[in-house]
Structure 1
Amino acid sequence: MKKNIGFLNFGHWTPSPHSQVRTASDTLLQTIELAVAAEELGVDGAYVRVHHFARQLASPYPLLAAMGARTSRIELGTGVIDMRYENPLRMAEDAGAADLISGGRLQLGVSRGSPEQVIDGYRHFGFEPADGDHAAMAREHTRRFLEVIEGDAFAEPHPRPMFPNPPGLLRVEPQSPGLRRRIWWGAGTRATAEWTAQQGMNLMSSTLLTEDTGVPFHQLQAEQIARFRDTWAAAGHDWEPRVSVSRSIFPITNDTDRAYFGTATGGSDQVGRIDGGIARFGKTYAGEPDALVRELAEDEAVAAADTLLLTVPNQLGVDYNAHLLESLVRDVAPGLGWR
């Protein structure tokens, strides 16, 4: 099956002389350049991670808008925005503007968020969860955001407005038609995937799941995808959803690749603890293109998904990451029938 292939950039920067990305300016500008290079290579998507209080990408909308202005075809997304930190109405304005600048190419991944850099960081952004339930707060912010981008009109117009108003209640502007069907939820469990389908959001699943049943990661993730699709069908939505999975895949085609990733071949899943609970982490794929084709052909979740997001080592710079993307699109994807 034709598979959409995108990259996912965490946007790390460090002042180390060994890094090609030493400042916040470096990571922002290089992410834009990598999106441009990826589009030229025929890659389908450019996605960014969002982490607050960290030397990583944190403010996605100016970056997405800039990427949209410099490109013409490639999808632009997030993986994921922590909804505990978001004002739904302001987010709707920012997302609507960025989507219009890109010509309707945004694919926004949102979720409850990952482990934080600081204690209860969302409180510094002015959000206090009722009864301490920060996950419920994230879902409520998401519910309101979805209503607003669907065009919910709720604000009573001022009797003496600065500018003339259309009749009736007012809505947040700008509205971007179609954005509602391009919202994804980052789900870490099978139950959350079912909830995602009930809400009418696309499914985004990463390289870790916050549960473990003892089966290999890719099989557990494939079950998550199957449950999502079954629940979607039962919910009766009138459009087809999308499913993405993330993977760390490094084709080894030259000595530089071998120096960086030669020791990562033959990897396996890992089981550990995250946020106080058990989690299963997917393996890293590294090897010669023919070996990667054989390994990835056995990955049931990759086969089930329509979109594959490649986590890129952004600190190695734009040129090297463009080389990795080119290697995957040219040397690996055709052998799996993705191109």
Structure 2
Amino acid sequence: MPAPGTPLEHLGFLTIGTFDPADPRGGHEATLRMVELGERLGLDSAWLRHRHLQYGISSPVAVLAALTQRTSRIALGTAVTPLAWENPLRLAEDLATVDVLSGGRLHPGVSVGPPMHWDDVKGALYPDTADAEDFTHTRVERLLRFVAGEPAATFSGREGVVEEWSDRVQPHSPGLRGRMWYGGGSTRSAQWAGRAGTNLLTSSVVRAEDDRTDFAAIQAGQIRAYRAAGGTGRVSQGLVVIPTDGATPAQRERYAAYVAARTPRTGSPQGPARLLFAADLLGTSEQITEALYAHEGFREVSEVVFALPFSFAEADYEQILTDVATRLGPLLGWSPAA
């Protein structure tokens, strides 16, 4: 997206699918309706984020399986699945199954690193192997091999009267490997994704690896590092974007309070990991368009997955998605899918 006039090719959205613990079905159904709305609006993709041991979707793959039966066109993704919680072989089976059910619409995004609050959860997650678990890129490489159809066992063939065994993950979905994404927020992870031949997901969080605090410049540099390392796949940017064109006065007031509460963390790196958060983009579609074209990271991509804010009401999400599809997207040169 080097300059205004270059059309945005793909436009999607991301949600964590929050729910009331007293009524978890209601929240999950609201997420299903949201993705159905996204498809009707012509958006290209819908992505779910993992929220383990929180009041958000803990099993996006299961929810995406349901969505394969309630949508027919929109791409379905995870952004991202933290592989520290997963067995790569079992996850490969789940991903291939959902991809087959979707007709080849699945876009799995993954990441590595120890689980959040590792010391609190390791006894439940890996009671016998916590100290031996490998949370490096090796875990992704295993998943990619299984998804690609490389051997997962040393035996195949008939056993007994009717049982047939395969030495690779079944079902096998041939196109899935090319739709694997890696969620990177550092130069090293972007370079790894480039060498590994995955697509690259960037988000509203990057690692400040030096004295710089310009989020857009850091993100742009990481995208360039991905390409310099041999990355030829798709690159998607994900910022929190809140258009207010169709919002009521009450909604605008709540949105402004939400952004104001989150803005202080955007000024400097946060915590030992020196995480730098992007500012939320709030305003009319014209104002957001101007901010995006001025954003160095945005100028490096041709597709985006705008993240929906946390803890908003279903009506708020309907308004935001409608404005994104009918006002903001067209200003960025994007056209809805038929």
The normalised TM-score by structure 1 is 0.86
Q: What is the identity, as a one-letter code, of the residue corresponding to 1:328?
A: V
CA contact 1:3–1:307 (8 Å) conserved in 2: yes
1:9 to 11, 15, 18: 15
Distance 2:85 2:275 in 1: 24
Q: What is the identity, as a one-letter code, of the residue corresponding to 1:307?
A: E
Deviations 1:230-286 (A, max 9, x none): 2125xxxxxx41111211111112323312223538968332334x22121111110
Q: What is the identity, as a one-letter code, of the residue corresponding to 1:3?
A: E
Offset of 1:199 from its aligned partner? 0.8
- Matched residue, 2:4: none
- Matched residue, 2:154: 155
- Matched residue, 2:239: 247
CA contact 2:20–2:27 (8 Å) conserved in 1: no
Distance 2:120 2:162 in 1: 40
Q: 1:228 to 1:148 in 2, by over 3 A?
A: same
Query: Aligned with 2:53: secondary structure?
Result: coil
- Matched residue, 1:128: 129
- Matched residue, 2:229: 231
Distance 2:269 2:138 in 1: 29
Query: Aligned with 1:95: secondary structure?
Result: helix
Distance 1:312 1:104 in 2: 25
Residue 271 in 1 paired to residue 268 in 2?
yes
CA contact 1:85–1:122 (8 Å) conserved in 2: no
Offset of 1:331 from its aligned partner? 1.8
CA contact 1:52–1:117 (8 Å) conserved in 2: no
Structure 2 gaps, min length 5: 1-6
Q: What is the identity, as a one-letter code, of the residue corresponding to 2:173?
A: S
Offset of 1:27 from its aligned partner? 2.4
Once superposed, what is the RMSD of the aligned Cα atoms? 2.5
Identity of aligned residues (%): 28
1:260 to 254, 257, 260: 254
Q: How does 1:138-177 map to 2 (within 5 A)?
A: 139-153=137-151, 154-157=153-156, 160-161=159-160, 163-165=162-164, 170-177=167-174
Offset of 1:163 from its aligned partner? 2.4
Offset of 1:51 from its aligned partner? 2.2
- Matched residue, 2:220: 222
Offset of 1:26 from its aligned partner? 2.2
Distance 2:207 2:161 in 1: 50
Distance 2:160 2:125 in 1: 30
Distance 2:223 2:176 in 1: 22
Q: 1:162 to 1:209 in 2, by over 3 A?
A: farther
2:177 to 166, 176, 180: 180
Q: Which moved more, 1:94-103 or 1:303-312?
A: 303-312
Q: What is the identity, as a one-letter code, of the residue corresponding to 2:286?
A: D
Q: Which moved more, 1:103-112 or 1:169-178?
A: 169-178
Residue 83 in 1 paired to residue 83 in 2?
yes
Q: 1:195 to 1:122 in 2, by over 3 A?
A: farther
The normalised TM-score by structure 2 is 0.86
Residue 305 in 1 paired to residue 301 in 2?
yes
Distance 2:108 2:155 in 1: 29
CA contact 1:155–1:171 (8 Å) conserved in 2: no
Q: How many aligned residue pairs are there?
A: 321
Q: What is the identity, as a one-letter code, of the residue corresponding to 1:308?
A: V
- Matched residue, 1:68: 68
Q: Which moved more, 1:261-270 or 1:54-63?
A: 261-270
- Matched residue, 2:110: 110
Distance 1:63 1:162 in 2: 36
Deviations 1:82-103 (A, max 9, x none): 1111111111111111111111
- Matched residue, 2:44: 44
CA contact 1:314–1:321 (8 Å) conserved in 2: no
CA contact 1:7–1:310 (8 Å) conserved in 2: yes
Distance 1:219 1:40 in 2: 35
Query: Aligned with 2:192: secondary structure?
Result: helix
CA contact 1:54–1:117 (8 Å) conserved in 2: no
CA contact 1:27–1:57 (8 Å) conserved in 2: no
- Matched residue, 1:28: 28
- Matched residue, 2:200: 203
Q: What is the identity, as a one-letter code, of the residue corresponding to 2:76?
A: L
Offset of 1:10 from its aligned partner? 1.4
Offset of 1:162 from its aligned partner? 5.2
Distance 1:24 1:118 in 2: 25
Query: Aligned with 1:310: secondary structure?
Result: strand
Distance 2:129 2:112 in 1: 14
Q: 1:198 to 1:120 in 2, by over 3 A?
A: farther
- Matched residue, 1:236: none
Offset of 1:225 from its aligned partner? 0.4
Distance 1:110 1:224 in 2: 17
Deviations 1:122-178 (A, max 9, x none): 55233735667x532xx2222111111111233314763352537xx6212111121
